[in-house]
Amino acid sequence: MPNAPLSLPARLCLLAWDTGRPAAGTAPRTDLVRAGALVELARRGLLTDVDGIATPVDLDASAGDPVLDGLLDLVRESCPHSWRTWVTLRARVTSDAVREQLVAQGYVRAEKRRVLGVFPSVEYALARVVVVQALREETGQALRGPLPAAGICDRDAAVAVLAAAAHLFGEGPLEQRTRELTERAAEARPGLARIVREVSTTLTERRARSAVTASH
């Protein structure tokens, strides 16, 4: 997958961006970006599951990434919450931080404007559309083959599962494939399968509720 140094939340933020309309006033899919950050922290052994609660493993450990460390500090300083709750609780904080990180890395461009010629505003646009298109193509291939799930690296498998849960790749028959990819992603750390399932189920349920609301 292109741009290997990108974290899970950064990849998911880029995947959620509409490459046909690369300009956007706000960060896309705050819940999806937060879900990626939670899974990334769990993959790195910094968050673990204790009876369904997202729990810091070490009160002094660091991810070495300002976005991930910001979320890790938020979890440490807050009352205990389930993974499902953390997918949405103050998720905009993580999403905004990821977007600013992508600006600093050159993937996204920040454009200062004035609303009505008076009020200052910032709009964001993809700066590297081709890179995001390649990321979408490879994630789509992970979801639909031809490689078996075992032939996909665990991080790419996690990206694909979360992207599918958020319906970034449509409503296709992906259930069996996502189960296989979830197991592949979980090989990075014991207990990770449950965490991936919890956050991905939350994304799917939120997407379904949004679709119902939009139809009325």
**φ, ψ for residue 184, nearest 5 deg:** -65, -45
**φ, ψ for residue 10, nearest 5 deg:** -65, -45
Query: Helix, strand or coil for residue 122?
Result: strand
The predicted-structure confidence for 134-173, as pLDDT tens digits, reads as follows 999 999 999 987 899 999 999 999 999 999 999 998 766 5
The predicted-structure confidence for 48-101, as pLDDT tens digits, reads as follows 999 999 999 998 999 999 999 999 999 999 999 999 999 999 999 999 999 999
Domain ranges of the chain: 8-208
pTM: 0.91
